[in-house]
Structure 1
Amino acid sequence: MDENLSLKTFVVTMKASKALEEVTKQDIKKHGMRASDFAILEALYNKGRKTIREISESVLISTGSITYVIDKLEKKELLIRVNCPDDRRVVYLEITDKGKEIMDDIFPEHQQVIEELFQGISDSDKKTVIEVLKKVGYKAGEKE
C-alpha cells in the first residue's frame, strides 16, 4: 500500500510548526513578554507604522483580542495610537522610543535563536521550503 505523502507532509509540517512555535515562545518569555505582545512590537519595529487591521492580519491575532493586547502595550508606553487625519475610522499604531529600545535589545537575540534552528539547512532548501509552504498556504486560503 502506498503511503499517503500528503497526510505525512501535513503531520510533519504541523509538528515542526508546533516545535518552532514552542521554542520561539520560550525565547520571548525569557524577555518577560508574551508572544502576542512581541508579534505586534516586532511588526511595528520592522515595518513601521501600520493600521490596527494590518497588524491584526500580519500577526494572526483576531481583532477582538488585539485591542486588549494593544491597550496593554500602550499602557506600558511601548506603542501609541495615531488617528488618521483623512479617515476617522482608521487608527495607526506606532512603536515608541521605549518600545524601540526594548526591541533593539530583544530582536537580535531572538533572530539568533531562529538562525540556530535553521543552522545546517542550505539556503536552497530554505527557499524550497518557503516556496512549497506558500503554495500550500494559498491552496488552503482558497478553501476558506
Structure 2
Amino acid sequence: MSNEQSNAALKLFIVLSRAHKVIHESTNYFFQENGLNPTEFAVLELLYHKGKQPLQQIGNKILLASGSITYVVDKLEARGYISRVSSETDRRVTFAEITTAGITFMDEIFPRHEEQLVELMSALSNEEKQIVIDLVKKLGLSIKDLSN
C-alpha cells in the first residue's frame, strides 16, 4: 500500500465520520425535540411508510438488534403510536402496526424531518448527491464483499 493510498483512505474516513456526526447530531436533536429517540423514530418511520411489519423483521430493516425492538415497541405502544397485531395465519407471528395517533404524529413531524434533511444536504446539487450516493453505496458493497 502506498503512502498516497493510506493518506486518501484516512482522509476519506475522517470526512465521512465528521459528516455523519453532524447529520446524526442534528437529526437526533430533532427527534429528541419531538419526544423520540432515533430508534423509536426509525420504527415509526418504517411502519408509516411500509405498513405493518412482523416484529421479528423490524430489527433487520432498521439495523437494530432484535432484543432492543421489544423495548422500543413497548414504549411506542404505551404512547399509543403503534399496536401489536397477531397474524391471522401464523400464531407465532406478531406484527407491529402504526395507529391513527401514530399516523397523525408522523404526518406532523415527518415533513419537518424531510425539510431538515434537505437543508442539511443543501450544499450539494442533486447531481452531486447522486454521485455521493453511488460512491458510498459502492464503498459499502465492496466492504461487505471483503467481510464475506
How far is 1:119 from its partner? 1.1
Q: Aligned residues: percent identity?
A: 38
Give the SS at the match of 2:96: strand
Question: 1:19-60: CA deviations, max 9, x gaps?
Answer: 111100001111121111111101111111112233211222
> Per the alignment, do residues 141 and 91 of structure 1 end up closer, same or farther by CA in structure 2, a change over 3 Å counting?
farther
Aligned to 1:109: 112
Whether 1:127 aligns to 2:116 is: no
Q: Give the Å deviation of 1:6.
A: 1.9
Moved over 4 A (4+): none
When structure 1 is superposed on structure 2, of 84-93 and 113-122 the one drifting more is 84-93
1:120, CA displacement in angstroms? 3.3
Q: CA RMSD in A?
A: 1.5
Shift of 1:73: 0.7
- Per the TM alignment, residue 91 of structure 1 is displaced from its structure 2 partner at its CA by 1.8
Pair 1:140–1:52, CA change in 2 (3 A): farther
Per the alignment, residue 58 of structure 2 pairs with: 55
Q: Among residues 70, 75, 79, which one is paired with 1:67 in the alignment? A: 70
Q: Secondary structure at the match of 1:86?
A: coil
Q: TM-score, normalised by structure 2?
A: 0.89
Specify the code of the residue in structure 2 equivalent to 1:94.
Answer: E
1:116 is matched by which residue type in structure 2?
E
Could you tell me which residue of structure 2 aligns to residue 40 of structure 1? 43
Q: Secondary structure at the match of 2:85?
A: strand
Structure 1: 5+ residue runs without aligned partners? none
* Aligned equivalents of 1:6, 1:15: Cα separation in 2: 14
Shift of 1:70: 0.4
Q: How many correspondences in the alignment?
A: 144
CA deviations on 1:56-89 (whole Å, 9 max, x unpaired) are 1122221011110101111111101112222223
